[in-house]
Amino acid sequence: MAQCRILTSLAICTLLTSLGACNMYVIDFENKLPDGTVLAPKADMPPPPPPEPVEPIEGSLDVAFMDSTTAQLEGCRVITGMRILHDGSFDDGLIKLRNTAVRINANRIIPLHFAESPVSGTPHRFSAKMVRCPDAKPEVDNG
């Protein structure tokens, strides 16, 4: 009786192990699968057109980058934090960041994390603080 239980348990374990470890692969060498199936070859799609280059708006070239210590010493105030993902070139992403700064009335950008993507089709990541610094006072010549 005990021997029967051991053999039955061993047979069940063998069956479950063999069923659990099975993988089935379908290789369609002759492309006979219907187009709607998951395993059918994908149709060659043309690559998407490259994004249009970003044009700088008036005043965006005057927006400068600075570090946070200098911003605090010069009495700058943080307007907002900004995160941008850009699919075009890295330089176009910087122009887009400066254009955004002008639109929200910031005149300086503190870069927090800029990541240029080495893979084509993966967006570049920009994370920055937009700040407004007081205008430099002109020096007065008393002399």
The domain that holds 100 is classified in CATH as: 3.30.1660.10
Q: How confident is the model at residue 88 (pLDDT cuts 50, 70, 90)?
A: confident
Q: How confident is the model at residue 10 (pLDDT cuts 50, 70, 90)?
A: confident
SS3 129: strand
Q: What is the DSSP letter of 61?
A: G
- Whether 36 shows a pLDDT value over 60: the answer reads no
- The pTM of this model reads 0.61
41 within some domain: no
* Token representation of residue 88: 């075009």
Residue 79 lies in domain: 60-132
Helices and strands counted in the chain (H then E) = 3, 4
- Whether 126 shows a pLDDT value over 60: the answer reads yes
Q: What percent of the chain lies above the pLDDT cut of 70? A: 73
pLDDT at position 92? 92
Q: How confident is the model at residue 34 (pLDDT cuts 50, 70, 90)?
A: low
Element (H, E) at 100: helix 90-103
122 within some domain: yes
Cβ partners under 8 Å of residue 35, min gap 6: none
